[in-house]
Amino acid sequence: MEIRELQAKAAQIRMDLLTIIHRAKTGHTGGSLSNTDILTALYYRIMKVDPNNPKWENRDRFIASKGHSVESLWCILADLGFFPKEELKTYSGFGTRLIGHPNNKVPGIEMNTGALGHGLAISVGMAIAAKRDGRPYRVFCLMGDGEQAEGSVWEAAMAGAHYKLDNLIGIIDRNRLQISGTTEEVMGLEPLDEKWTAFGWNVVSIDGNDMAALVEAFEAIPAAAGKPTLIMANTVKGKGVSFAENAAKWHHHVPNDEELRKALEELDTQLQALRAEGTAI
């Protein structure tokens, strides 16, 4: 997909994830909205995956370490055909596969995740396996910024650099908000770029809601041979919905009927504008 197509797809995915959260009356809304652009760039432009063959040996691997923000991922996997779109209506319902964290009973999910701090270590192991087996796949791991307070993240970061895993890409959804407030109030992280650099990673800091910047950064990988890459994706929590942006309460706030209506209206306006721009070219 080209950049404008990716932007339009992200707007649609945001509409879908809000709809399933509203229907289920549960979900992590703010973080799913902030990570939508990242996941859209990965799944529709960057990663080599095959919905018709989810276990293809040379597929790129994606690990959602910040597994609580799964709604955007469910909507993308359904849109790509990993499972029927109709199944999205069961999200968080009794007996569903589509629970509130990634579940590897669902095609396209590599590992159950959600206990923060585990995803990068899993990704390091997968990247080592690819190197030892001589396989070309890459491993992408999406982490939250609040997750950086977990010590296991830094153990995995050390290992990734030690084993020179240039097929490993860490991504931090740096929206600066977590469940109980700002990340700097809860557990100060800055200078976060410098910390990852000191741990031996090639750090690329970008606007994580800028689709062109995301694509440029991902397509440049590996930017440094023999080094894992860390994409510091500076995002806005609640991105795309004006009254949810930069609001900590939207971490797991479920939109009511009126909020859903307003949010879908805003996103549809964005979507129609993008489509009109595309038609005019």
Dihedrals φ, ψ of 140, to 5°? Answer: -110, 130
Mean pLDDT of the chain: 96
Per cent of the chain over pLDDT 90 is 94
Structure-block tokens of residue 93: 């319902």
Q: What is the pLDDT of residues 15-59, one digit of tens each?
A: 999 999 999 999 999 999 999 999 999 999 999 999 999 999 999
> What is d(CA 138, CA 166) in angstroms, rounded to the nearest whole number?
9
239, pLDDT greater than 90: yes
pLDDT at 202 over 90: yes
Query: What are the sequence ranges of the domains in the chain?
Result: 3-280
Give yes or no for residue 279 having a pLDDT over 70.
Answer: no
For the cut 90, the answer to whether the pLDDT of residue 255 exceeds it is yes
Q: For the chain, how far is it from start to end, CA to CA, in angstroms?
A: 16
Of 108, 114, 105, which is closest to residue 48 (Cα–Cα)?
108
Superfamily of domain 3-280: Thiamin diphosphate (ThDP)-binding fold, Pyr/PP domains (3.40.50.970)
* Average pLDDT of span 93-121: 96
User: What is the pLDDT confidence band of residue 207, given thresholds at 50, 70 and 90?
Assistant: very high
Q: Cα–Cα–Cα angle for 82, 86, 91, nearest 5°?
A: 85
**Of 186 and 71, the one with more pLDDT:** 71
* pLDDT for the residue numbered 179: 84
Predicted local confidence at residue 281, as pLDDT: 46
Indicate whether 280 pLDDT > 60: no
